[in-house]
Amino acid sequence: MGKTVPERVAAVVAEHTRTVFGLMGNGNAWFIHALAERGVEIIPVRHEAAAVAAADAHHRTTRRLAVATTTYGPGFSNALTPLIDAALNRSPLLLVAGADDAVDQAALAGASGVQVFTAGPDAAGETRRALETALRESAPVVLFLPSGPEEPPADPAEVSRLLSDARRPLVLAGRGAVGARAEVVSLAEALGADVATTAPAKGFFRGARGVRDLGICGGFAFPEAAAEIRAADVVLVVGASLNPFTADHGRAFGPDACVVQIDRHSPTSPRVDAFLRGDASDVLPVLACRGVAERSAPLRTGHAPGEELAPDGRLDPRGLFGRLNEVLPQERVVVTDGGHFIAWPCMYLDVPGPDHLVLVGTAFESIGLGFGSAVGVVEAAGERLTVLVTGDGGGLMALADAESVIRRVHATGGRCVIVVVNDAAYGAEVHQYGARGVTQTPMLIPEVDFASLLGVFGARGTVVRTWRDLDEASEWLTAGGTGTWVLDCRVSRGVVAPFLSGK
């Protein structure tokens, strides 16, 4: 029967069907693997809505039970429209989805007219009850697979002493601190602190004096900078939520570091040791700290282009983005979709300041929002270059609005470079689960020629296999060309981003 919850659920599902439609993610990877081990065919799609729609259509043409699977969060919310349609059609359908504490998915399902079951200690029995309900009532059901801290007391005087006595203070600024930039910089300068930012606030401390800028904190940090961040004994967090990327899943700060957060509401992570409620612009002047920080040597992380090719003969993404940092004009706004590849633009592409690096989907751990988001960035960028970085998986999921981006760039007389990090796979799943033995077939994507595909919509494009293939786009940018250029970059699947490799 299997010992884990995903195995017990898969064993029961395999008794009822040999066909499951789905899209793999963190919330259902082991379930899909368990199905594959039992000989159940997994038919992969590129969007969660398609998983449920395909399962429902399969039922409507065969009259057999429909089964679909998605991950949690955006994987589940993306599936709601066809799930509602299945409910109205009274289709016997089982959707196996990951559970998510960040969103009340059960309420969403209930509002859609769909019954909810949760696989717990009696996972096999609960799965049978879900299936029986779907078949008996001829209705879709959802089976969820299982997957704020107390406010610590603090007052400004205590925090002031803590910061002033720190040997290695670190000031971490997020996008929420932009309105209090002068106060944050002033405090950091008074302390002689190391400073770092979240990815969207990259460039926040440009021009600050007497501080050492370590760049982005967390999973997108260069190894040398990450080591210095972990050496901090007191960390002041302003305008940042300490999400898994910034906190590097708990690895960003040393175990003995004291983490102080300023926020208008409540602590955003269990890692926070001391909390000050209020606007940063009001709280920071009250602290009036002056530090005795140890003077540290300048840090070299650099943007050297690095290796052109990985051992497998495909592009090394680190070298690629180091080269793109030189090729693309400095006056640029970078927007990235979600996926394994997001480390490379965050680490290697310089931006003029905060709000010039736009990460979409990271808070909800979704992919497929890149092209839609780029439409808004094109509208806001003006004469600046819009750079969209997307993966092949997210790019295919959002393909319809690639045309919207290209059309809007043409209408505004602007210019945009679309960088597709094409490794013919869902890289995050490959590195997190494929490396641990989970079947990789649903994680792989046939290599798509995005340069030709988006050329149908009016973009120019290049398939990039070597740095030399960037030359034509570079000449176009230098000449001030307008429109959209697609760089379909064939990168190696063998280079793992630090935020997934654990450095």
Q: What is the CATH classification number for the domain harbouring 245?
A: 3.40.50.1220
Looking at residue 306, its pLDDT comes to: 75
Dump pLDDT digits (tens) for 346-364. 999 999 999 899 998 877 7
Same structural domain for residues 98 and 235? Answer: no
Residue 501 has pLDDT above 90, yes or no: no
The owner of tokens 């597709």 is 420
Is residue 306 situated within a structural domain? Answer: no
Q: How far is CA 483 from CA 408, 409, 463, in A?
A: 9, 6, 18
Looking at residue 221, its pLDDT comes to: 94
Please report which confidence band the pLDDT of residue 500 belongs to, taking 50, 70 and 90 as the band edges. Answer: confident
Q: Give the total number of structural domains in the chain.
A: 3
Q: Which of 217, 236, 239 is nearest to 291 (CA)?
A: 236
Residue 288 has pLDDT above 70, yes or no: no
Is residue 446 situated within a structural domain? Answer: yes
CATH number of the domain that 15 lies in?
Answer: 3.40.50.970
Is residue 300 situated within a structural domain? Answer: no
Looking at residue 1, its pLDDT comes to: 45
Is residue 185 situated within a structural domain? Answer: yes
Dump pLDDT digits (tens) for 418-435. 999 999 999 999 999 988
Dump pLDDT digits (tens) for 290-329. 665 565 666 665 555 679 999 999 999 999 999 999 999 9
Same structural domain for residues 57 and 87? Answer: yes
Q: What is the mean pLDDT of residues 228-239?
A: 96
> What percentage of residues in the chain have a pLDDT greater than 70?
94
Same structural domain for residues 422 and 491? Answer: yes
Looking at residue 292, its pLDDT comes to: 58
Distance separating alpha carbons of residues 465 and 271, to the nearest angstrom: 43
Looking at residue 149, its pLDDT comes to: 39
> pLDDT averaged over the chain?
91
Q: What is the mean pLDDT of residues 212-236?
A: 95
Looking at residue 186, its pLDDT comes to: 94
> What percentage of residues in the chain have a pLDDT greater than 90?
80
Whether residue 241 contacts residue 272, with contact meaning beta carbons closer than 8 Å, is answered with no
Distance separating alpha carbons of residues 209 and 192, to the nearest angstrom: 9
Q: What is the mean pLDDT of residues 205-209?
A: 93
Looking at residue 294, its pLDDT comes to: 62
Looking at residue 148, its pLDDT comes to: 37
Choose one of 115, 145, 175: the last residue of a domain.
Answer: 145
Q: What is the mean pLDDT of residues 23-27?
A: 91
Same structural domain for residues 357 and 496? Answer: yes
Q: How far is CA 205 from CA 185, 195, 270, in A?
A: 7, 7, 27
Is residue 308 situated within a structural domain? Answer: no
Same structural domain for residues 117 and 189? Answer: no
Other C-beta atoms lying within 10 Å of the C-beta of residue 292: 11
Q: For residue 189, give its domain range.
A: 156-287
Q: What is the mean pLDDT of residues 474-496?
A: 96
Dump pLDDT digits (tens) for 77-90. 999 999 999 999 89
Same structural domain for residues 346 and 493? Answer: yes
Looking at residue 249, its pLDDT comes to: 85
pTM: 0.77
Same structural domain for residues 258 and 348? Answer: no
Same structural domain for residues 131 and 199? Answer: no
Q: How far is CA 49 from CA 52, 76, 77, 141, in A?
A: 6, 9, 9, 15
Q: How far is CA 478 from CA 189, 329, 472, 474, 489, in A?
A: 38, 8, 10, 6, 20
Same structural domain for residues 374 and 416? Answer: yes
